[in-house]
Amino acid sequence: MDESSQLPLFRAKDKTLRISENYESGAMVTLYLGDRLKLLEDIRDSGDRAELIVTSPPYNIGKEYETQVSLEEYIEGQRETIRASVEILSPTGSICWQVGHYIKGSGKTKEAYPLDIVLYPIFKDVGLVLKNRIVWHFGSGLHETYRFSGRHETILWFTHDTPDYTFNLDSVRIPQKYPGKRAYSGPRTGQPSGNPLGKNPSDVWEIPNVKANHVEKTEHPCQFPIGLIMRLVLALTNENDLVVDPYIGVGTTAVASLLCNRRSAGADIERRYLDIAKERVIQAWEGTLRYRPMNKPVYKPTGNASVDKIPDEWRIRYSRDQSESETETDIGQSNEK
């Protein structure tokens, strides 16, 4: 299906889209302008409970929407958000905290602080249990000179300390690598060995991040891909459940939830981001929003496009390096003889 003509996964024709600026139990979407702690307090006081709280908090690296503070102050702010989030989490619910690195210094003095490791003790202190540390791998990003370029971030998935948490694996299975593989022993010998619905997507997810040429790109500098959140929403909630994002930005969590027929609520302190969020939610409801399908394979170069080919300026050096490599191989084989 063409990306520009995708319809939501779920579309209840008898429902009216209701977008509220303050939290209301009956609203399909709440986009709250203000502090995330006030929204979480309002949800708590309503008596509603979230089946999923999923967010990507600011990384304290000086982006336009955040004020950079000391790492200690940052951690304390996250502690407040996490504690308030746990207060509205349902007994069967999940919290997914998607984070990268806080970077201190510049050039060769850079030091990386992995925020998942920094924040993990806070989740443990409030009694949560880590189910997975999901690695989100992507191919684009800043090209580093003095260290390896960062191409992954992580999602910490927590639940209460209970075996009765929501987990719908069948909803997020991906195609089998070898669907024709058959069992070679045991009672199922000769039968297909895999699950007909597909395989578990594992805890390493390769999903392109939202950069300049991405179909979902808005003016927000750090934006979730819809497919990433849809996988979490489908796996960790059921239809009509409430999904909350304390730092909702341009509304990717609201869009993903709506496409899966879940209610959502989120906060942001930037009016312009919430205006974009509202527009995207309406487009998702109308079936006009363009987005990258959740399980679309990552593009692999075919070798035919101009950008796949070695530039003429590099050919002499490339040929020389290849010749030197082959010569070293020949010498090594000769010495072995």
Whether residues 314 and 209 fall in one domain = no
214 and 314 share a domain? no
Secondary structure (3-state) at 137: strand
* Cβ atoms of residues 303 and 250 within 8 Å: no
Angle at which helix 115-125 crosses helix 71-87, to 10 degrees, equals 40
Residues 218 and 153 in one domain: yes
The answer on 316 and 197 residing in a single domain is: no
Q: Tokens 């009509």 sit at which residue?
A: 240
pLDDT at 6: 41
pLDDT in single tens digits along all 337 residues of the chain? 334 334 444 555 557 899 999 999 989 999 999 999 999 999 999 999 999 999 999 867 656 666 778 889 999 999 999 999 999 999 999 999 999 998 889 999 999 999 999 999 999 999 999 999 999 999 888 899 999 998 999 999 999 999 999 999 999 999 998 988 998 888 989 888 889 999 999 999 999 988 888 888 988 878 889 999 999 999 999 999 999 999 999 999 999 999 999 999 999 999 999 999 999 999 999 999 999 999 998 888 888 888 888 888 887 776 666 666 665 555 555 555 4
Whether 329 and 251 map to the same domain: the answer is: no
Predicted TM-score of the model (pTM) = 0.87
Q: How far is CA 236 from CA 157, 200, 230, in A?
A: 10, 14, 10
The whole-number pLDDT of residue 3 equals: 41
Residue 212 shares a structural domain with residue 320: no
Evaluate whether 115 touches 257 at the Cβ level (below 8 Å).
no
Question: pLDDT by residue (tens digit) across 311-334?
Answer: 888 877 766 666 666 655 555 555
Residues 211 and 95 in one domain: yes
pLDDT for 230-271, tens place per residue?
999 999 999 999 999 999 999 999 999 999 999 999 999 999
Residue 8 pLDDT: 44
Domain match, 181 and 325 both: no
Q: How many domains does the chain have?
A: 2
pLDDT at 92: 98
The domain that holds 117 is classified in CATH as 3.40.50.150
The dihedral region occupied by 287, where left means phi > 0, alpha psi between -120 and 50, and beta the remainder, is left
CA nearest neighbour of 22 among 13, 33, 14, 11: 33
Residues 111 and 212 in one domain: yes
**How far apart (Å, rounded) are the C-alpha atoms in residues 269 and 33?**
5
* 220 and 162 co-located in one domain: yes
Spatial contact of 157 and 235, defined as CB atoms under 8 Å apart: no
Do residue 275 and residue 320 come from a single domain? no
- Between CA 69 and CA 90 the distance in angstroms is 32
Structure token pair of residue 146? 């003095």
Angstrom distance (rounded) from CA 333 to CA 7: 59
Do 161 and 172 contact (CB within 8 A), yes or no?
no
**Spatial separation of the C-alpha atoms in residues 213 and 22, rounded to whole Å:** 34
Beta bridge partners of 126: none
The domain of 337 spans 307-337
241: its two tokens:
């459940």
Residues 295 and 314 reside in one and the same domain: no
